[in-house]
Amino acid sequence: MTTLVTGSRGAVARGLAGLLQEAGLPHRLASRDPQDPGTVRCDLTDPGTFPAALDGATSVFLYAEPAAADAFLKEAGAAGVEHIVLLSSSSVLAHDAEDNALAASHLDAERALLASPIRSTLLRPGAFASNSRGWARSIASGDPVRMPYPGAHSDPVHEADIAEAAFAVLTDPALGGRAHTLTGPHSLTFATQLALIAAALGRPIPVETVTPDVWKSDVEAFVPAPYADALLDHWAAHDGLPVAISDGVEQLTGHPARSFEAWVDDHLADFRAH
């Protein structure tokens, strides 16, 4: 019984691989750009990489990439895969998911999987706490963090909780076969998240509110315009409005979701000057 862990360079996949290793469960790491010994190449947009990666796998932890999803699922079925756990997003639950580039990509991946005869489990995390790393360079340098909606709420979830949830549904058949929404324990504004990072650092973090167009210009080198627009729409919709919090992490892992403060403590070095 071998689990294929795709996207092995990602934080969730690394956490899951560590849990599988600790439990002594056979697994294979896969990445689009493998750099570690024993990691196989699996580019989820390139069907030519699927057969070798899936050979002998009985379960898969799968990142949501719809480009070649049908080909991946066909190959997974031929390889004898019995269960796929998809890392999706709670954005698929929004009323405008079809029109939101980020949500639509995850929705397309979900639909492909649900149309397959392979048993499927959907993990739908909200905002990753690690998204706050996008502020790290400004914070470390002492420059203002520029953002259009400092009062926008999100539900930051620790990547370790997502990894533990994935481990739970992969190892306990009673938990699989359905969708699970995963959030952090609190709805927090970006301003509050920055204040918590500042408290941990022991110094203030300046914030500069900018227009959406200025923010898009700031990030255009690494955030494609459709995704930037999707983020802006999401933030505007939750400006001053708390988001719903789920108990999905506790239901799957047996412990409450880790707080954003705990995430900051685990990653404080990312925000210090190097």
Query: Looking at residue 109, which CATH number applies to its domain?
Result: 3.40.50.720
Instruction: Name the domain boundary from 125, 146, 167.
Output: 125
**Do 74 and 146 share a domain, yes or no?**
no
Categorize the per-residue pLDDT at 20 as very low, low, confident or very high, splitting at 50, 70 and 90: very high
| Domain, as residue range, for 10 | 2-125
| pLDDT at residue number 102 | 85
Q: How far is CA 104 from CA 48, 70, 77, 127, 240, in A?
A: 25, 16, 25, 16, 25
User: Which H/E stretch holds residue 164?
Assistant: helix 159-171
Statement to judge: residues 71 and 202 lie in one domain: no
Residue whose token pair is 């290793």: 21
CA angle 42, 3, 17 (to 5 degrees): 85
Say how far apart CA 1 and CA 3 lie, in whole Å: 7
Span 137-188, pLDDT tens digits: 999 999 999 999 999 999 999 999 999 999 999 999 999 999 999 999 999 9
Give the integer Cα–Cα distance in Å for 14 and 239: 33
Per-residue pLDDT at 274 exceeds 80:
no
- Is residue 236 pLDDT above 80, yes or no? yes
Tell me, yes or no, whether 51 and 98 share the same domain: yes
The pLDDT, as a whole number, for residue 273 is: 80
Residue 94 near residue 19 (C-beta atoms within 8 A): no
169 within a domain of the structure (yes/no) = no
Mean pLDDT of the region 259-273: 96
